Chain A
Amino acid sequence: MNQTFNSCPNFTTRLETASALVHKAIDAVRQKNIPKRNLIWLELTGCSGNIISLLDGANPDFKSLASQMVNFIYDNSLMAAEGEAAMERLFGMTGGDYILAVEGAVSTKDNGLYNIIGRWKGQPVTAYETIKKFGEQASYVIAVGTCASDGGISAARPNPAECVGIQSLLDKKVIKLPGCPCHPDWFMGTLAYLMLFGEPELDSRQRPLMFYSTLIHDICPRRPYFDQGIFASKLGEKTCMFKLGCRGPVTRVDCPIRKWNDRVNWPIGDDSPCIGCAMFGFPDKMEPFISFDTT
């Protein structure tokens, strides 16, 4: 179960990218070759599932990230402080040096009042004004997950909270890590690269090529079934799920080799179709997720 299906160095090397980068960054911090950077993690209009996914990181893991690589300044799910004292940690970074990671889209309806993330000096602080304030001033901005990258499910039609991805509110360039949720390797690898070398090579949609350069369909272990026209007619079958609505042919990310949760499985390995959760336009342009009545 833990084995990769392919021993090609192109695959195996890529699997080690994230952990190699994180270990290199931790070493560099320890030897004071690079500073331990401040990290602000904002949970905005979404499900807070990307911070949970980050906790699922195995190698590299969350503990080494939070204790050895960065100063984790703010995160709603994990920080010990609450109320104004918590917001002080965030606003205390004003004018300082920090890297900003954002999960969730941003609700823009009624000046952002549909998503309030806290109170500062008694006044409600919206997700909208927070991203405006802390986004432009950040050294780097990373959109973690599909909602922050492109609106995602929070912006699904009819988009009741009028959600948008964070780039549309910022002049500052946003590095996008779509995926619902974002894989912990994608985030930690990107963060380590930023600390060590600056901005990684990105594609035209601002995704790091080291994780987003391959189409799922091109490296799918079930590709031979597609090529021979052998298609599953229901879930649970071991053949190509193209006719059930698989979005592997349009989704660009390295799921088939990286897999999930300590590399134990992935959606197609679970005999279910890819739903394109790492693709722009998810979910509206990726639906229906499952259909039995295609020809």
Chain B
Amino acid sequence: MNETKRVVINPVTRISGFMEIDADIDNSIVTDARTEGLLFRGFEKMLEGRNPFDAVYFTQRICGICSTAHSVASTLALEDALGVTVSQQGRYLRDIIHGCEFLQNHIRHFYQYTAPDFIKLPESNTLFETDHNDFRLPKQKNDLIVKHYFDSLEYSRNAHEMLAILGGKAPHNHGVFIGGITTQATPEKIARLRSLLLNIRQFICDSMIPDAYAVAEYYKEYFEIGRGYGNFLTFGCFDGYERLDTLYVNPSTYSDGRIMELNPGEITENIYSSWYTSRQETYTPFETIPEPDMKKRDAYSWVKAPRYRGLPYEVGPLARMWLCGEYRNGISTMDRTLARVLEAKKVANIMLCLLDNLIPGIDVQKEYEVPQSAYGAGLIDTTRGALGHWIRIENQVISLYQIITPSAWNLSTRDRDNLPGPGEKAMIGTIIRNPDAPVELGRIIRSFDPCVSCATHVYSKGNLIKTMQVVP
């Protein structure tokens, strides 16, 4: 029997922020899918007229799980605008702080956000009551990962403790600032950081990576599900050090089987399907901040559509691991998860290298002056992928602040060519085993580690009231 079912999942839990998945399922195959964010705060508008230095602490409040990312991108944008060249020691210190966030995020994403999709957690705890029964690991293996779910809390917490040692506190650190960080490394801090880091690395190697491969073994079809476009983009991270060269990945893209150098001039944003209006439907970051417009016809989300050379690109750990050549197994839901846990180990090793190169007692701070007018861009790969902040300063205050987040790339909406965003594309074509419990969709989307707090300067369908949860 041929019938189309519309499936709506809202809330998509175990992500940061609010999101709806809206899919059409035809003969057990997803024929159309949309990802929609459900929260609007309007940070870009709020930043206009503020003191440029305040952007570093202000933009962190976009996101509670990846606040450091925003502090790094806004600092890079300010350094670009002020013409400040950061010292190598300043970079090492800042990148160690940033690395702590990778560890914190990846451990929490694997155990607290991803594992409950595949692992049966004790339902005696009300938090873990489930809505499906597709749990396949033998009891012994399942229970070991349950144990690690709880053990992991200590290690993600310790990653934030490391972040606070150099950054004051977490979430929402105080350390990342123009010139590197606010404070100095001391022998005592370096020793404490190393000790915590070695413990975290051991947990990643001995528990998290084996656990991810254990899940993969029992859910093999997820190596075929959720491919997306196979276009990758990174702004680079832990790269281009004067003496250490590139420890991770340079700014680059992958499309049609070719790796190319990134050209930031090719980045645009499009609002064809988004609840915004502007003089231009497609614009470059410095050109305009579109105005919210809830009544726009044919729009279905307030996530905008970032494009590179006019095309959707996937960003994140799999993109980076692919582009640097360390992971080429495949492009799928499970490959994203494996790339993320493997990346955690890689970042831990990079942080050890940076710690080895720290010189205690170096003050990297200066008195900075806000220029009368200037502009700057801060492009950096963060936990979830490529993050860009663009700042324009006029009369010594912020006159324009543009933010394009990793999750905006991954959860982007359709442009005029009707090309779905990477997350939408990854769902389309998926075979759903049980349309009454379409677990596949949430698993695919979570593999992107969406942060809707970030992606949404967003709102969804004010006057568009859609029909029921499952409609025949």
Contacts and interface: CB of A to CB of B under 8 A. Distances in A.
A75 B177 CA distance: 33
A154 B10 CA distance: 22
- Which of A115, A157, A266 has most B Cβ within 10 Å? A115
B161 to A, nearest CB: 4
A61 interface: yes
A76 interface: yes
A287 B54 contact: yes
B416 interface: no
A192 interface: no
Nearest to A283: B58
B127 A107 contact: no
B264 interface: no
Contacts of B174: 267, 270, 272, 275
B471 to A, nearest CB: 9
B16 A48 contact: yes
Nearest to B63: A47
B30 to A, nearest CB: 15
Contact of B125 (A72, A122, A158): A72
Interface residues of A, number: 89
B467 interface: yes
Interface string A248-269: 0000000000001110111101
A181 B160 CA distance: 13
A12 interface: no
A277 interface: yes
Contacts of A94: none
Interface in A51-77: 51-53, 55-58, 61-63, 66-67, 71-73, 75-77
Contacts of B121: 80
A55 to B, nearest CB: 6
Contact of B10 (A51, A119, A163, A283): A119
A292 B465 CA distance: 51
A50 interface: yes
A48 B153 CA distance: 17
A271 B183 contact: yes
B13 A82 contact: yes
A291 B365 CA distance: 14
Contact of B192 (A1, A66, A81, A283): A1
A85 B64 contact: no
B183 A234 contact: no
A235 interface: yes
Given A49-B171, A115-B38, A266-B169, A84 B469 contact: yes
A154 B153 contact: no
Nearest to A236: B365
Given A86-B13, A118-B10, A288-B54, A76 B18 contact: yes
A86 B14 CA distance: 11
B116 A80 contact: yes
B387 interface: no
Contacts of B368: 292
A82 B12 contact: yes
Contacts of B8: 83, 119, 122
A232 B454 CA distance: 34
A283 B13 CA distance: 29
A236 B182 contact: yes
A133 B174 CA distance: 37
Given A117-B18, A119-B20, A289 B168 contact: no
A236 B183 contact: yes
Contact residues of A: prevailing secondary structure: loop
B462 A110 contact: yes
B46 A157 contact: yes
Given A85-B131, A89-B126, A261-B163, A234 B365 contact: yes
A78 interface: yes
Contacts of A226: none
Interface residues of B, number: 87
- Which of A51, A83, A267, A290 has most B Cβ within 10 Å? A83
A157 B128 CA distance: 39
A166 interface: no
A287 B51 CA distance: 8
A45 interface: yes
Given A234-B365, A287-B50, A289-B53, A122 B131 contact: no
- Which of B45, B51, B164, B294 has most A Cβ within 10 Å? B164
Contacts of A78: 13-14, 112, 127
B201 interface: no
Contact of B182 (A45, A152, A261, A270): A270
B426 to A, nearest CB: 17
A56 B129 contact: no
A219 interface: no
Contact of A160 (B45, B128, B130): B45
A261 B46 contact: no
Interface in A221-235: 233-235
- Which of B11, B50, B292 has most A Cβ within 10 Å? B11
B298 interface: no
Given A78-B14, A122-B469, 20 more contacts: A49-B64, A55-B157, A56-B157, A56-B171, A76-B13, A77-B16, A79-B13, A79-B14, A82-B442, A87-B11, A107-B40, A117-B38, A119-B11, A122-B466, A156-B58, A180-B172, A235-B365, A272-B168, A288-B53, A289-B58
Interface of B: 8-18, 20, 38-42, 45-46, 50-51, 53-54, 57-58, 61-65, 67, 108, 112-113, 116, 121, 125-131, 150, 153, 156-157, 160-161, 163-172, 174-175, 177, 182-184, 188-189, 192, 292, 294, 363-369, 442, 453, 459-460, 462, 465-469
26 contacts: A47-B61, A52-B64, A55-B157, A57-B157, A71-B126, A76-B11, A77-B112, A79-B127, A80-B121, A80-B127, A113-B459, A122-B8, A122-B469, A156-B58, A157-B46, A161-B40, A180-B61, A261-B157, A261-B164, A265-B165, A265-B168, A270-B168, A270-B169, A271-B184, A272-B182, A288-B51
Q: 4 closest A-B pairs (Cβ-Cβ)?
A: A49-B64, A160-B42, A270-B168, A85-B131
